[in-house]
């Protein structure tokens, strides 16, 4: 397994405020990784550090190959046409693949003579994405590319990103607040919370090892052997999200957790973690 991105003990401060603390993760090549976390968790700081725009105060970032970064506020010039945007990209990037960029935009039905300011938000995102992809990166880093797009445009952007990933060897790291947008597209999950990496792993593996248990009220610890990530209590039932399968107990019913439940449970329990061994900490 080749590692496309590895961060080791990454710490970043803005003056005295620590935005990232001791972040270590490894992303295998060819994965599409979702980076999720609440406002202020450090997602943009992590992406900027991976893209080389910020220098860490401690720790290291290692990327296998070239990185292309698409910032949150789509880096396009409003007064340029789409064709001029591509010309600009070609002049700035030695490894630029013009045939790919032109064909991709034609396939998406985006007219080359249209001014960027006259494109829809979804089309602007597609142009910015095309500029990033035409640089032929090994690692594509996207900071909230779906923000301010309607659900249809979000779906189109993610689907076209999947086409790009299927066409070439590419690893993608994409931040978003909307977990539902990422479920069909991403196969790796990174949860960042309060500047720390809380979860990093294969989504199917994570889902397979987490359960939602429902059982008697007043038993927040759950059945024997349960590793509780989060518990919520009502006066009648206890609901737990647990990692690993506890011993069978007839008082508790179990069902698989979905991705949103898993993410929310970790975000509400900043002390819990699901990280790979040997560096990992059990929930």
Q: How far is the CB of 39 from ligand ATP (least distance, A)?
A: 4
Q: Which residues contact 133 (CB under 8 A, 6 or more apart)?
A: 68, 100, 101, 104, 140, 164
- CB contact at 8 A, 67 and 138: yes
- Positions in the binding site for ligand ATP (CB under 6 A): 14, 17, 19, 37, 39-45
Which strand (E) or helix (H) includes residue 9? strand 3-14
In angstroms, what is the minimal distance from the CB of 49 to ligand ATP?
9
User: Which candidate, 172, 194, 178, places its Cα nearest to that of 266?
Assistant: 194
Residue 31 in tokens: 């994965």
Nearer to ligand ATP, 41 or 189 (CB): 41
Q: SS3 of 104, please?
A: helix
Nearer to ligand ATP by Cβ, of 50 and 274: the residue is: 50
Nearer to ligand ATP, 70 or 213 (CB): 70
Rounded CA-CA distance 167/59 in Å is: 34
Q: What is the pairing mode between strands 17-28 and 67-70?
A: unpaired
CA dist 32 and 27 (Å) reads: 9
**Residue 101 CB, nearest distance to ligand ATP (Å)?**
28
Could you give the CA distance from residue 110 to residue 104 in angstroms, rounded to a whole number? 9
CB 76, min distance to ligand ATP, A: 20
Q: Which is nearer to ligand ATP, 17 or 236 (CB)?
A: 17
Nearer CB in complex with ligand ATP: 39/79: 39
CB of residue 143 to ligand ATP, shortest distance in Å: 7
Judged by CB, which is closer to ligand ATP: 44, or 124? 44
Query: Which residues partner with 255 through β-bridges?
Result: 212
Cβ-based burial of 222 (10 A; exposed 0-12, middle 13-18, buried ≥19): buried
- CB atoms inside a 10 Å sphere around CB 158: 21
Longest dimension (CA), the chain: 67
Taking the complex as a whole, the smallest distance from the CB of residue 173 to ligand ATP amounts, in Å, to: 13
Give yes or no for a contact between 176 and 34, defined as CB atoms under 8 angstroms apart: yes
Report the residue number, 14 or 77, with the smaller CB distance to ligand ATP.
14
- Minimum distance from CB of 40 to ligand ATP (Å)? 4
């Amino acid at each position: 397994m080749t590692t496309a991105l590895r961060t080791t003990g990454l710490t970043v401060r803005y003056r005295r405020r620590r935005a990232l603390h001791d972040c270590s993760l490894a992303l295998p090549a060819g994965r599409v990784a979702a980076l999720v976390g609440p406002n202020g968790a450090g997602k943009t700081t992590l992406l900027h550090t991976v893209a080389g725009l910020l220098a860490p105060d401690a720790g290291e970032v290692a990327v296998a190959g070239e990185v292309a970064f698409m910032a949150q506020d789509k880096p396009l010039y409003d007064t340029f046409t789409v064709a001029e945007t591509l010309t600009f990209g070609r002049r700035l990037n030695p490894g630029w693949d013009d045939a790919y960029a032109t064909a991709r935009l034609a396939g998406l039905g985006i007219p080359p003579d249209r001014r960027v300011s006259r494109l829809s938000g979804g089309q602007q995102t597609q142009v910015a994405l095309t500029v990033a992809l035409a640089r032929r990166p090994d690692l594509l880093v996207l900071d909230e590319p779906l923000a301010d797009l309607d659900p249809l445009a979000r779906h189109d952007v993610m689907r076209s990103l999947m086409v790009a990933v299927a066409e070439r060897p590419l690893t993608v790291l994409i931040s978003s607040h909307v977990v539902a947008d990422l479920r069909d597209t991403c196969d790796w999950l990174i949860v960042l919370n309060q500047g720390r990496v809380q979860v990093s792993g294969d989504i199917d593996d994570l889902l397979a090892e987490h359960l939602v248990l429902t059982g008697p009220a007043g038993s927040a610890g759950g059945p024997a052997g349960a590793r509780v990530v989060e518990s919520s209590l009502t006066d009648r039932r206890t609901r737990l999200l647990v990692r690993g399968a506890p011993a069978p107990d007839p008082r508790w019913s179990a069902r698989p957790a979905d991705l949103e439940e898993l993410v929310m449970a970790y975000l509400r329990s900043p002390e819990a973690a699901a990280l790979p061994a040997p560096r990992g900490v059990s929930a």
